A and B are shown apart, each in its own frame.
Chain A
């Protein structure tokens, strides 16, 4: 089974990324991920991942927190609703 099998295999990059972040549980500051970790999970080039993260931040589907100079990203309540709207 692919990561986004069948139903939503042709999603735009940032929405695909949002799905992956949601499904792996990056939905709270405690479980936020760095850009490098997100790039690995989504199998995206870090530059492409960063562009997608910026789009998601602009739409407030993800949020960022910074500790010791490291940025970590997690899905917001609006982002969770965006993902789940596809399945209910």
Chain B
């Protein structure tokens, strides 16, 4: 660790060894945590810090690689168990073993955990390494499941509480999450820092042949794409977009709802599209590679984010960076990112009519769509860069080291 003092006599850490734990890191992409960790870790490495990213293995990914300066260690899970929670506890053991092995060669100044899935490994590492633990709480079980309804949920909620209790500082990604974790886990407000998500907008600065992209995905060049990107799980509210489809195609028969992502609700959503007679207007593409996703986003006319629960909503930043007008639920982090009628359209939560109204307004009025896009792109440049997020994260690390 390199340290110096500023003019007020505060210790400032110049470079540090950061041990970051996450159950997902590209190409293991389940939700937003994967891309968040990659963006943050790369930006920290760019600042000169050494980031050791401990994660789980994935088919085709190497056990060790350097990803733009980030030292990525993928841990094999050598033992399994049919029960998911037991499986989580087992992989935490193997992650902890990896941290212990690395700590023989390196001294970690901070340990940074992402969500409950790595809580046991992070907490025990904190104790035997004597380094402060910082945790980012991306979402909570009580929020994801809209309450605690069964033993698994109670256990996950307990692990989340345990992680916040053991952490020196907590990072959340929006003000709505700050309120949620403070109230639910009874945390002191001064222990929590709000650091938003960010995006590498340069990925979207490419030219694409929209007709060619549409053709590749079986979409006619005359069709206008109403895009959804995300996990197919109830909290994402995809059903409300599907229910809005008849009202969208009534006004815009050229619209095609395109759903990208996978998840356990997929069969239900396929049946829903059939039952309301619009299966021909709803296209399920499954999981796409990053490049395909960028090209499809750039070829879309509206991005819809109909979430019921969304602590942040990184997909909103992706749409804004790509220059696609957004219709999003007026909830959680989305309501903080998007200013209604300025950087996007905020629809009422769980309301297909409101979603359809927003989509139709954007498809019908190119001037309105262009106004939203210009404002959104400006906001992305000014607020949501990984360099800014990494600087704020280092400030949190420094606070944890001082306290």
- B233, A86: Cβ atoms under 8 Å? yes
Assess A23 versus B84: contact at CB under 8 Å? Given A7-B152, A81-B287, A82-B264.
yes
- Bound-state Cα–Cα, A3 to B85, Å: 10
- Bound-state Cα–Cα, A73 to B150, Å: 31
- A7, B115: Cβ atoms under 8 Å? no
- Bound-state Cα–Cα, A23 to B79, Å: 9
Interface string of B152-172 (1 = CB under 8 A from A): 110010000000000000000
A67 within 8 A of B: no
Assess A20 versus B82: contact at CB under 8 Å? Given A28-B59, A80-B59, A86-B233.
yes
Which chain B residues in 167-208 approach chain A with CB under 8 Å? none
- B151, A5: Cβ atoms under 8 Å? yes
- Bound-state Cα–Cα, A51 to B284, Å: 24
- Bound-state Cα–Cα, A4 to B31, Å: 22
B286 within 8 A of A: yes
A1 within 8 A of B: yes
Contacts of B385 in A (CB 8 A): none
- Bound-state Cα–Cα, A86 to B141, Å: 11
Categorize the interface residue count of chain A: 20 to 34
- A5, B85: Cβ atoms under 8 Å? yes
Assess A6 versus B153: contact at CB under 8 Å? Given A20-B82, A88-B33.
yes
Assess A87 versus B84: contact at CB under 8 Å? Given A6-B150, A7-B152, A78-B262.
yes
- A27, B59: Cβ atoms under 8 Å? yes
- A85, B80: Cβ atoms under 8 Å? no
Assess A88 versus B58: contact at CB under 8 Å? Given A3-B83, A24-B81, A78-B287.
no
- B117, A5: Cβ atoms under 8 Å? no
B29 within 8 A of A: yes
- A85, B82: Cβ atoms under 8 Å? no
- A85, B153: Cβ atoms under 8 Å? no
B48 within 8 A of A: no
B77 within 8 A of A: yes
A52 within 8 A of B: no
Assess A81 versus B262: contact at CB under 8 Å? Given A5-B152, A6-B153, A88-B24.
yes
Known A5-B152, A23-B87, A85-B231; further 4 A-B contacts with Cβ < 8 A:
A7-B152, A12-B267, A25-B78, A81-B287
User: Which chain A residues have a beta carbon within 8 Å of chain B's beta carbons?
Assistant: 1-8, 11-12, 15, 19-20, 22-28, 41, 76-78, 80-82, 84-88
Q: Which 10 A-B pairs have the closest CB atoms?
A: A6-B150, A25-B80, A85-B263, A24-B80, A7-B152, A6-B152, A23-B87, A3-B82, A84-B30, A6-B151
Can you give 30 contacting A-B residue pairs, CB < 8 Å?
A1-B85, A3-B82, A5-B150, A5-B152, A6-B150, A6-B152, A7-B152, A8-B264, A15-B264, A19-B82, A23-B83, A23-B84, A24-B80, A25-B77, A25-B79, A25-B80, A28-B59, A77-B27, A77-B58, A78-B287, A80-B58, A80-B59, A82-B263, A82-B264, A85-B233, A86-B233, A87-B84, A87-B156, A88-B30, A88-B231
